[in-house]
A and B are shown apart, each in its own frame.
Chain A
Amino acid sequence: MAVVPSGKNKDLPVSAHLMRTLSTFSEQPPPPNLPNAEHDYNVAKRFLQKMDNDDESVWELLINALQKVGEYRGEVTLEIFQKILRALLRKSMTRDPNLFREFYLKSPPHRGSLGYCNVYRSLKYKFDIEERTPDPNTAPDPLTLQKMKLLTEAGVGLSEFECYNMMIAMRKLAENHKIAKARVWGKIYGLYKNYYVIECEADKDEIRIAQERDKLMTQEAKASAAAKKIKEQQEELDKNVDDMMRGMKEEVVAIKEGIVMALAGPEQQIQQLQTGVVTAEPVDPIAAQQLLAKYVMPPVPQPPVFKANIVPPETLGSGTNIRRYYVANDPWHEFVLLPDAVPAQIVTARCISKYLTGDLEAPVDSYPEFPGVEKHYLRSQIARISAGTIVCPVGVYTVPGGEEEIYNEEDMLPDGYLENTDYHPPPIKRLVDMQRNYWMHIRKYILPQGRTEYWKPPGDEGEFEGFEDWDEDELRGRLKPPILSLISRDDSPETDKCWSLRRPYRTTGLQNCITARSNVWPGAHAVTRGFLWENIYVGFAVKYLAHSYGPPPLPFPWDEYEIGPEIMEKTDPTPEEEEAWRQRHMPPTGAQVAPVGEGGEGGEGEEEDAE
């Protein structure tokens, strides 16, 4: 601010140095030795208007300052002028938000926020002052928010924003689809996107239709339908193999012809020597083929035929498919129904360990090969996690005991137990007990077969009556724990204790809540407080492996040929033996005619296929 030029002044003392600087801006240099006021003014103005990095110039600052001075009421002292300048400078130091984005691009949060707004708007629910408690069979759990808050207090779960939006999403889902007893199952992290999972029961009509269809299909038909599907897949594979093999077949033909030519030559020579007639005719191809027919080729090896026993999936409304799952990447996205769980997929999912990507149609590259895409894998993992980690305090549900006990058929839940109308929460002391005897599993155990009920393969002749021979049952994967078994019975080779029980609050008294954290599936939690209890899973959907993952070993390679004398290893004949063989096979000369082909049968390491 040292240079304040006033161009009007003709006697402006401009130093030679400044003059040189300014002259670089001018297009038309003034005639030398002649002062030109207008030109000097323009040059000085341009110098002051030079922008710095922040698009600000001294000129603008001064203009603003002078404007403020003009607006100022009262005498402008030096102090006041300094104040004005300082205020202006401070204003120019504030960071301007991204101008470009503000005007030409939507801000990044815009799209998601718009999606949420649409979800909130599209809800049909209207508040009615006389509304009764909603029917639990159609509306989602009315206690959702309370339960989510309980989870959050217990040290697990979603943020409050997510909790609310999941509640809204469930409500919307219940309006658009026929679902019952919806609840938030949890959140699964993927590599690129996450999954929010809603669990619900299918509509009763749908279950009835599925059951009727299932009755019509006999067991064999089911198996054959599944086998047919596998066969189709296999055919498709074979077609690809055929394409590959076509080139190889041509090669085989060429090789065969080569053998014919090679064999025909020496045979002819022998004939010539024997008969003494020299024929110069070319090889007759037909004769050569006949000649080749003498040599018996080994049969082409065929792959062994496997009898595939496809375990049929359980029908909707029973076993692993009692519940259905809807997933979405964000609570405002459209929730997508996952396909039903299939035993083959569950069995394969147990052998592999994969991260999810966030795309339902992404392929699952694994060994052993997973039969399906990511949505099937996700469904299998959800089935496994639910079976292993959904627990509740003892007494919430009961099994009807004894034959005399009367209960209503309607009250029976699809899992095979009743809701206990007389439930009293166990004392807190018991719930955090090291014995872990006051929590129970409420989902059915999945057998190694991939079903909750054992399916007898058609070829299995043995009559299975259940729990007759425990050792054999366990060996063949038919043994399962009874429903509502206690978590103290859980056992895993990966950890010493499958469950860790915690008190999230040290200080509060009776209203204390208890958390059960699964150590087998990191991220699975169960929480209870008073009469409320809830489960959630938040994690990568990967099982805890103490000794790290090892893929199953590769199968043994198949034998290319049958092991026989043709391909056995033998010692090569010595030069002497070869010479002896040659002597014996010489064409007859003179009177002594040795019969051709009289090979030594003593087996002195001679070639056996010599004719």
Chain B
Amino acid sequence: MDLEHISTSHDLVALSGNTLNIEKNSLLQSSLTVLLNDNHFRKVYFWGKIFGLDADYYVAFGYHKDLLRKPIYYYSKNAIDWVMLPKPTKTDYFLCQIITTRFMGDPALQTNVVDDKPTEENPIPKEPLKVEERNLYWRKHPTYILKEEDRIAATVKLINKQGIVVPRGALYKQPNGDIVHNESWYGMNFEDSKLLTSYFHFRKPENRWDDNVTKKINYNYAYDFMDPIDGDIPLHFAWSCQVVNTNRTAILRSLTWPGAISYNILESPVWGFLYFGPAKKNIDIPFMI
């Protein structure tokens, strides 16, 4: 959610089932503005809240030049003091997907992810035998300890990659290649908002650029460089797309990461995304549809 919209969009936050009360609103608005000025960001966004068992984390990010390539993430436990998130390693990405415990609320907490550690009798082979095994980074550098701070960083990146979308046209590629938000975009119309082809993944494009561009009839190089979400698996069931609030607000819920929502007030430049939840990936969708 854009910093500029925080004070006016109580009802948009409520779409996620959670709300920010007047105190949290004030704190976020002030502290994020300070964050923006201190770091000379071009824009700052409130990303969401990760529920821990003992405490919650607020997450925000800002960018200087490029929104997709170089966003800088911060987390905070009290919504005032923001701490920069570390850059997650490959091991962190791997471990944060197999960990089964919840976030506790202590950034310094170190969790042992894998219980069946290698023993003297069954050491991990130095030279992996199979190709698949070789791909596992941690086989070479076995680490089983995951720090909660790293876990937040890796989880946030994963949620961005899989669970968060932006409407088509809301992000814009400048001639020099920088991806910034589009100031002159004025929202989707009702018909487009129901199509999954008009939403893009909030990530650096992973598909071939010509694949993405040629999917549209009225393509535009400045918009259509991003990956559309209509091909996500399971097909048609990776997202729940609704137009709520008497057909005024388009809202897209991710089923892979329950708790992630992306919204756009139709025909208005107000768009954004939020995450409120325990940061648990739902891999049971095939059973649940």
A505 touches B17 (CB 8 A): no
With CB as the reference atom, state the residue of chain B lying closest to A522: B278
B residues in contact with A112, CB < 8 Å:
246-247
Given A192-B240, A355-B255, A159-B15 contact (CB < 8 Å):
yes
Number of chain A interface residues as a range: 35 or more
A156 touches B289 (CB 8 A): no
A523 touches B11 (CB 8 A): no
B residues in contact with A433, CB < 8 Å:
none
A194 touches B242 (CB 8 A): yes
Given A109-B246, A154-B21, A542-B288, A159-B278 contact (CB < 8 Å):
no
Binding-face segment, B86-94, B142-150, B217-225, B279-287: B279-287
B53 touches A155 (CB 8 A): no
A191 touches B101 (CB 8 A): no
Residue B138 at the A interface, CB < 8 A?
no
Residue B22 at the A interface, CB < 8 A?
yes
Given A159-B14, A496-B102, A546-B101, A193-B242 contact (CB < 8 Å):
yes
| Docked complex: B75-125 residues within 8 A CB-CB of A | 78, 100-102
CA–CA, A156 to B16, complex, Å?
Answer: 9
Residue A500 at the B interface, CB < 8 A?
yes
With CB as the reference atom, state the residue of chain A lying closest to B236: A191
Residue B266 at the A interface, CB < 8 A?
yes
A194 touches B247 (CB 8 A): no
Residue B185 at the A interface, CB < 8 A?
no
B11 touches A160 (CB 8 A): yes
With CB as the reference atom, state the residue of chain B lying closest to A505: B23
A residues in contact with B287, CB < 8 Å:
352-354, 366, 549, 551
B284 touches A159 (CB 8 A): no
CA–CA, A178 to B78, complex, Å?
Answer: 47
B283 touches A194 (CB 8 A): no
A residues in contact with B242, CB < 8 Å:
192-194
Number of chain B interface residues as a range: 35 or more
CA–CA, A354 to B78, complex, Å?
Answer: 35
CA–CA, A192 to B237, complex, Å?
Answer: 10
CA–CA, A538 to B258, complex, Å?
Answer: 12
User: What's the nearest-Cβ distance from chain B to residue A251, in Å?
Assistant: 37
B residues in contact with A98, CB < 8 Å:
189
A539 touches B288 (CB 8 A): no
B21 touches A504 (CB 8 A): yes
Residue A177 at the B interface, CB < 8 A?
no
CA–CA, A157 to B283, complex, Å?
Answer: 26
Given A155-B21, A544-B280, A95-B247 contact (CB < 8 Å):
no
Residue A603 at the B interface, CB < 8 A?
no
A506 touches B21 (CB 8 A): no
B56 touches A502 (CB 8 A): yes
CA–CA, A108 to B53, complex, Å?
Answer: 42
A residues in contact with B41, CB < 8 Å:
none
User: What's the nearest-Cβ distance from chain B to residue A375, in Å?
Assistant: 18
CA–CA, A355 to B287, complex, Å?
Answer: 9
Given A116-B246, A191-B240, A540-B258 contact (CB < 8 Å):
yes
Partner of B244, one of A194, A495, A496, A546: A194
| Docked complex: A143-180 residues within 8 A CB-CB of B | 152-162
| Docked complex: B262-287 residues within 8 A CB-CB of A | 266, 277-278, 280, 283-284, 287
A residues in contact with B101, CB < 8 Å:
496, 546
CA–CA, A152 to B16, complex, Å?
Answer: 12
B residues in contact with A355, CB < 8 Å:
240, 255, 288-289
Residue A489 at the B interface, CB < 8 A?
no
A residues in contact with B24, CB < 8 Å:
155, 504
A517 touches B51 (CB 8 A): yes
B residues in contact with A540, CB < 8 Å:
258
| Docked complex: B207-252 residues within 8 A CB-CB of A | 237, 240, 242-248
CA–CA, A397 to B217, complex, Å?
Answer: 64
CA–CA, A159 to B14, complex, Å?
Answer: 5
A153 touches B21 (CB 8 A): yes
B100 touches A538 (CB 8 A): no
Which residue, A161, A548, A551, has most C-beta atoms of chain B within 10 A?
Answer: A548
A506 touches B278 (CB 8 A): no
B1-37 interface code vs A (CB 8 A; 1 in, 0 out): 0000000001100110111111110000000000000
Residue A309 at the B interface, CB < 8 A?
no
User: What's the nearest-Cβ distance from chain B to residue A330, in Å?
Assistant: 8
CA–CA, A156 to B288, complex, Å?
Answer: 25
Residue B253 at the A interface, CB < 8 A?
yes
User: What's the nearest-Cβ distance from chain A to residue B48, in Å?
Assistant: 13
B residues in contact with A187, CB < 8 Å:
17
CA–CA, A545 to B277, complex, Å?
Answer: 14
A residues in contact with B278, CB < 8 Å:
519, 522, 544
User: What's the nearest-Cβ distance from chain A to residue B102, in Å?
Assistant: 6
With CB as the reference atom, state the residue of chain A lying closest to B189: A98
B21 touches A111 (CB 8 A): no
With CB as the reference atom, state the residue of chain B lying closest to A112: B246
B19 touches A157 (CB 8 A): yes
6 other contacts beyond A495-B53, A546-B280, with CB at 8 A cut-off? A159-B14, A189-B17, A505-B23, A506-B78, A519-B53, A546-B101
Closest 5 CB pairs of A and B: A112-B246, A538-B17, A108-B247, A159-B11, A159-B14
